[in-house]
Amino acid sequence: MPDCFIGPFDEPRSQRPATPPVSDHLHDGGDADASAQSNHPRSGFEAALRGALNRCPSCGQTALFARYLKPADRCSICSQDWTPQQADDFPAYLSILVTGHLLAPVIIALVNHVDVPTWLLMALVLTLAAGTMIALLQPAKGAIIAMQWWLGMHGFAQPEPFQDAGDSATKSEQRHTVEERRAS
């Protein structure tokens, strides 16, 4: 498929080797490498979902955030460094956008169908807006950090695409066939 049809949620475009280093205390054999490969996200959507659920986008096993909006410096399982992230104000903008779209029909319904004093309506709407914003802020930041990691932005090395055992065997067979054609 041409690059113009590949979106941010598809497989990474480049094949740069960027496997996150595995901690020495986990590297007692092939088990750590196998578990890291089996937990690697298959797509950008899966990585963003892991980030939104406060899980490490790389391995999906540890918490991405050390505090409410403070990402952990490094994953304790896969040793992925999260310090290059630069989410800045984008999570807040995204949370405001989603909150506005979620609350607009609620506000319209309250104004048109419920007979309450204006002060009570304002208190209710402001409480709903603040609660929704607070609830959406961490998932938005987690998803944005995960997408920065997936796309190799801001100092993150772009991860290798997921390969299961069947894909790697097929690709190695194709590689040998191409090499045989070149040799003859």
Of residues 30, 57, 52, the one with CA closest to residue 42: 57
Once rounded to an integer, what is the mean pLDDT over residues 62-91?
A: 89
In a domain, 151, yes or no: yes
In a domain, 7, yes or no: no
In a domain, 100, yes or no: yes
Of residues 158, 160, 143, 147, the one with CA closest to residue 33: 160
pTM over 0.75: no
Once rounded to an integer, what is the mean pLDDT over residues 129-158?
A: 89
Backbone angles phi, psi at 174, to 5 degrees: -65, -40
Determine the structural domain holding residue 126 and report its residue range: 19-173
Q: What is the mean pLDDT of the chain?
A: 76
pLDDT at 163: 57
In a domain, 4, yes or no: no
Q: Which residues contact 150 (CB under 8 A, 6 or more apart)?
A: 8, 12, 41, 44, 47, 48, 57, 158, 159
In a domain, 182, yes or no: no
Window from 84-88, 103-107, 179-183 with minimum mean pLDDT: 179-183
Backbone angles phi, psi at 88, to 5 degrees: 50, -125
Backbone angles phi, psi at 68, to 5 degrees: -50, -50
**What's the number of domains the chain is made of?**
1
In a domain, 45, yes or no: yes
- The 3-class SS string of 117-180 reads CHHHHHHHHHHHHHHHHHHHHHHHHHHHHHHHHHHCCCCCCCCCCCCCHHHHHHHHHHHHHHHH
**pLDDT band per the 50, 70, 90 thresholds, residue 96:** very high
In a domain, 60, yes or no: yes
80 to 21, 89, 91: CA distances (angstroms): 7, 23, 21
> Taking 90 as the threshold, does the pLDDT of residue 5 lie above it?
no
Once rounded to an integer, what is the mean pLDDT over residues 52-63?
A: 90
pLDDT at 108: 93
In a domain, 6, yes or no: no
Window from 35-39, 73-77, 151-155, 168-172 with minimum mean pLDDT: 168-172
The model's pLDDT over 113-127, given as tens digits with 9 standing for 90+, comes to: 988 899 999 999 999
